[in-house]
A and B are shown apart, each in its own frame.
Chain A
Amino acid sequence: MAFETQIDRLVEKLSDLTRADKVVWQETAAENSFLTSVGQSIVVVGRVNSDPSAPCFIRILDATGKTIEEAYVPNLSASDRDTTMKDLARLRTLLEMARRNAMKSEKVVSDLLSSLEAIK
């Protein structure tokens, strides 16, 4: 399996598991970066800066904190712009889900709604 395909599958799998609440993401000291521990590895997803349109990245660290692999999108090569945009969208979706999971947004909003509904 080509490496790009593996990363692609990794993003897809992490997205599925995050959606199913089976992966727990944590906030980090870097704004817009979130980490989770999977098996013997640590996965970090984030944006390179706070600009919402900034490139996203996924980084895999080993148990000693060494970066084993990292992938950034978009890769600004014009020839594969479509693929790149698709990758970026997928990674952005994962990043957004990781953020919500780390901040427990769904629970907060749900509690907020319950409180609002209790106000007659």
Chain B
Amino acid sequence: MDFINKHWGDLASVLGFALTALFALWAKTAAEQARDAAEEVRDQLSRFDTIAELSAAITIIEEIMRLQRTQAWEIVWDIVLDRHSILRGHLVRSQAGIESEALRASVRDAIGHFRIIVGEIERARTEPQQSKLDTAAFNQRLSDQVEVLEKVRIDVKKAGV
């Protein structure tokens, strides 16, 4: 008791310091938790965006395949080229929300495949070789890429579970 009476000032300082440290620690933890939560929300939104971009890309590929099946190139190639441009935009944007390098590489490969198809169409258009456009081969590649992108979409979805 005597000790407390003599050193109450020191004890109060120590207690004050301990409380301050505890409060600072709690505040830091709260800030970290808030930051983690914000990051989680941001990642979740980014995943949603990526899934939406990939879904839109798959829808466009299916539309391109339908257009190509008409074989009416002179009527559809402007639309097909336009769709390819939109498709590329979706795929480029989708890469931003994909964490796995392997999945990003799959999307890059798909972009490469579509670039080659666009090149073939542009060449046929400028060098009047429409009849040489191999619609079946184009649709086969497009169909392969739908499978690849579908797999990427599923994997991105799973990463969010």
Contact = CB atoms under 8 A, between A and B. Distances in A.
A binds B: yes
Contacts of A65: 88, 92, 111-112, 114-115
Interface residues of B, number: 22
Contact of A35 (B92, B116, B138): B116
B119 interface: yes
Interface stretch (A3-11, A14-22, A26-34): A26-34
A29 B108 contact: no
Contact of A30 (B109, B111, B120, B140): B120
Nearest to B92: A64
Contacts of B95: 63
Nearest to B110: A65
B111 A31 contact: no
A63 B114 CA distance: 12
Interface residues of B: mostly helix, strand, loop or mixed?
A: helix
Interface string B106-145: 0011011111110110000000000000100110111000
Contact of B109 (A26, A33, A64, A67): A26
B111 A64 contact: yes
Interface string A17-57: 00000000011111101010100101010000000000000
Interface of B: 88, 92, 95, 104-105, 108-109, 111-117, 119-120, 134, 137-138, 140-142
The list of the 8 closest CB pairs from A to B, nearest first, reads: A42-B112, A65-B115, A29-B141, A65-B111, A28-B116, A29-B117, A35-B112, A37-B105
10 contacts: A28-B113, A29-B141, A35-B113, A42-B108, A42-B112, A44-B116, A63-B104, A63-B111, A65-B92, A67-B115
Interface of A: 26-31, 33, 35, 37, 40, 42, 44, 61, 63-65, 67
